[in-house]
């Protein structure tokens, strides 16, 4: 049984820490939630392994999260897990709560980040394109929360996401980050909507790596891409009804006013 060092309720969510920790500065909080092509979750899972990130806590709620425990190497974990290494704090979950619960979860996560002295928020997800089947060279974009972040992200050699819709958990997360005037960036890489897309995850990880200044090797992720896709099928199937409920298909539509 995992030892609990500290427990705190933020809103309807119980934050559990297994040990005392605080990320080094400048700190980055990365939030990985299931979304198009499971791009963020696949990337985060690889990052945990590659960087040897330590699991230091978790988040649970009987009201807003599914009735799930995750058993990892014999240890019982809540459905939302917290990992850290140096100045990185990673929030990771393979379970997407119902859309009505996402604002509450997002607010609690950002409150927790503020208490941990987080300086920057990084979101990385997929932006579905209908012709993904044909595309070999995936394009990436970014959305900055302020001009300072814009300057740094522009230096990565990718374009800003200038027109379009973003729907789903990251839309809520980013809106809330803006409202709080946080330094935040969202990396968006072209991906499948309905199939797991490790190639897009690798592209996002390369951008994250340069943005936070930590080397994350994606060679193994690309080599194992087919087996990861095979393994992620069940998760993708479970996530699709939630994405449909949020009207994720709006992301395919060009806006009328540009």
Partner 1 sequence: MSSPEDELEEIFRRINELRRRIESFVEEAVRRSLEGTRRQAVEALRPLWSSEGVLEPLYSVRDTGREYVVYVDLPYANEGTIDVKFIGNEMVIEARLKSEVAINGWHKRYQETKFHSYRAVVKLPVAPDPRRVRIRVRKGVIQVVIPKD
Q: Name the site residues for partner 1 (rule: CB under 8 A).
A: 130, 133-134, 192, 194-196, 225-231, 233-234, 236-237, 241
Residue 221 CB, nearest approach to partner 1 (Å)? 14
In the chain, DSSP assigns E strands to 6-10, 13-17, 28-32, 54-60, 70-72, 75-77, 80-85, 88-93, 120-128, 140-144, 159-160, 183-191
Q: Which is nearer to partner 1, 176 or 190 (CB)?
A: 190
Which residue, 130 or 155, has its beta carbon nearer to partner 1? 130
Q: Least distance to partner 1 from the beta carbon of 129, Å?
A: 13
Residue 180 or 238 with smaller CB distance to partner 1: 238
Given the complex with partner 1, which of 106 and 228 has the nearer CB atom?
Answer: 228
Task: State the Cα–Cα distance between residues 106 and 110, nearest whole angstrom.
Answer: 6
Taking the complex as a whole, the smallest distance from the CB of residue 232 to partner 1 amounts, in Å, to 9
**Residues 44-56 as b or e (16 or more Cβ within 10 Å = b):** bbbbbebbebebb
Q: Are 202 and 218 in contact (CB under 8 A)?
A: yes
Least distance to partner 1, CB of residue 99, Å: 17
């Amino acid at each position: 049984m995992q030892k609990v060092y500290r427990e705190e309720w933020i809103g309807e969510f119980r934050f559990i820490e297994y040990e005392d920790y605080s990320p080094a500065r400048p700190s980055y909080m990365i939030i990985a939630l299931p979304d198009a092509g499971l791009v963020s979750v696949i990337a985060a899972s690889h990052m945990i392994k590659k960087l040897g990130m330590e699991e230091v806590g978790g988040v649970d709620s009987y009201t807003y999260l599914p009735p799930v425990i995750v058993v990892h190497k014999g240890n019982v974990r809540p459905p939302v897990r917290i990992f850290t290494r140096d100045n990185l704090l990673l929030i990771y979950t393979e379970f997407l709560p119902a859309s009505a619960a996402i604002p509450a979860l997002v607010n609690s996560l950002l409150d927790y980040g503020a208490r941990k002295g987080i300086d920057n928020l990084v979101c990385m997800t997929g932006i579905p394109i209908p012709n993904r089947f044909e595309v070999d060279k995936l394009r990436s974009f970014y959305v900055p929360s302020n001009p300072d972040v814009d300057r740094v992200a522009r230096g990565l050699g990718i374009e800003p996401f200038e027109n379009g819709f973003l729907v789903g958990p990251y839309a809520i997360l980013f809106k809330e980050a803006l409202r709080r005037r946080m330094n935040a960036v969202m990396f968006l890489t072209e991906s499948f909507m309905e199939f797991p897309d490790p190639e897009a995850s690798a592209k996002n990880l390369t951008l994250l790596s340069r943005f936070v200044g930590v080397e994350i090797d994606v060679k193994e992720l690309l080599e194992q891409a087919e087996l990861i896709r095979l393994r992620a099928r069940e998760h993708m199937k479970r996530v699709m009804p939630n994405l449909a409920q949020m009207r994720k298909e709006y992301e395919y539509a060009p806006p009328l006013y540009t």
